[in-house]
Structure 1
Amino acid sequence: MLLNEGLPVTRLTVLNAADRPVQVGSHYHFAEANPGLDFDRTAARGQRLNIAAGTAVRFEPGIPVAVELVPLGGLRTVPGLRGETGGPLDG
């Protein structure tokens, strides 16, 4: 099954530096994911995981995981979440 065909892909390595597992859903603004996850948040701004809708990735403590991110679509407005964006991503 092809997902997000034609969208630009950003590849990052994520390390869970916390002491318990962290799960991130398919359409969550990845830059605002749990602060226990260590990755390039600037590169992740405006992006989500490149996985099937309704699924998630689980990050176990101390294990680096390679992920692919794709741009958020639609109006590209992030409604609060952790309070870091709370509005339009562009402009």
Structure 2
Amino acid sequence: MIPGEIFPAEGDIELNTGATAISLTVANTGDRPVQVGSHYHFAETNPGLAFDREAARGMRLDIAAGTAVRFEPGQTRDVRLVPIGGARRVYGFNQKVMGPL
């Protein structure tokens, strides 16, 4: 074995198995790019992003951990969201929830 060596498992890894996903159309109405990380509470993202925030409450992007989605100024794109897991408590971000969902 070599330090740092990785032994990948056979087959594909399926992300967020069993999670109920929704799709939302998101538009960047601002004049700056906006990047949203994989575990950010999507309803609390930059106010320059226009989308149904109530539908996004308690949701995060359906992407691999540690990755992000970038919205360029004027860009509109569809994203998939999945429920935030675990204890379903949200603290920090833009302080819109600060507790259980």
Q: Quick one: which of 71, 76, 80 aligns to 1:68?
A: 80
Matched residue count: 89
Distance 2:69 2:50 in 1: 15
Deviation above 4 Å: which 4+ runs of structure 1? none
Q: Assess if the C-alpha contact under 8 Å between 1:16 and 1:36 holds in 2.
A: yes
Which one has a bigger Cα radius of gyration? 2
TM-score (structure 1 length as normaliser):
0.95
Stretches of structure 2 that go unaligned for 5 or more consecutive residues are: 1-12
Identical columns (%): 65
TM-score (structure 2 length as normaliser):
0.86
What RMSD, in angstroms, separates the aligned Cα atoms of the two structures?
0.7
Alignment of 1:19-58 (within 5 A): 19-58=31-70
Q: Residue 80 of structure 1: CA displacement?
A: 2.3
Stretches of structure 1 that go unaligned for 5 or more consecutive residues are: none
Q: Quick one: which of 25, 28, 43 aligns to 1:13?
A: 25
Distance 2:73 2:87 in 1: 34
Distance 2:67 2:100 in 1: 24
